[in-house]
A and B are shown apart, each in its own frame.
Chain A
Amino acid sequence: MPVLSVMAIQGDPDDLVARMRKTIDPVASRKAAQYGGISSTVVRTDDGIKIFNLWENDEGRHKMAADPEIRAALSDAGFPEPQFRAYEILYRRTIAETAKEPVQRIADEVWTQGKLDLIDELVAPDFVGTSPTDGEYHGQAGFRQLVERYRLAFSNVELKIDRIVAEGDWVSSHWTARGTHTAELMGIAPTGKDVTVTGMQFDRVAGGKIVESHGLFDALGMLQQLGAVPTAAPATA
Chain B
Amino acid sequence: MLALPPPRFTPCDRCGASVERDVADGHVCERERLVEYALFQMRDRIVSFDEDLGAWLDTPQGRFESFYASYRRLTAG
Contact = CB atoms under 8 A, between A and B. Distances in A.
Contact of B7 (A190, A191, A224): A224
B10 interface: yes
Interface in A201-237: 218, 220-222, 224-225, 229-233
A123 B7 CA distance: 32
Contacts of A196: 8-9, 18
A230 B4 contact: yes
Contacts, number: 54
Given A180-B16, A194-B17, A220 B11 contact: no
A220 B5 CA distance: 10
B5 to A, nearest CB: 6
A232 B5 CA distance: 6
A107 interface: no
Interface in B1-35: 3-11, 16-18
Contact of B4 (A190, A195, A232): A232
Contact of A220 (B4, B17, B41): B4
Contacts of B8: 196, 198, 218, 221
Interface in B34-51: 36-37, 40-41
A40 interface: no
Contacts of A78: none
A178 interface: yes
A194 B7 contact: no
Interface of B: 3-11, 16-18, 36-37, 40-41
Q: Which 4 interchain pairs have the tightest Cβ spacing?
A: A221-B7, A192-B40, A194-B18, A193-B11
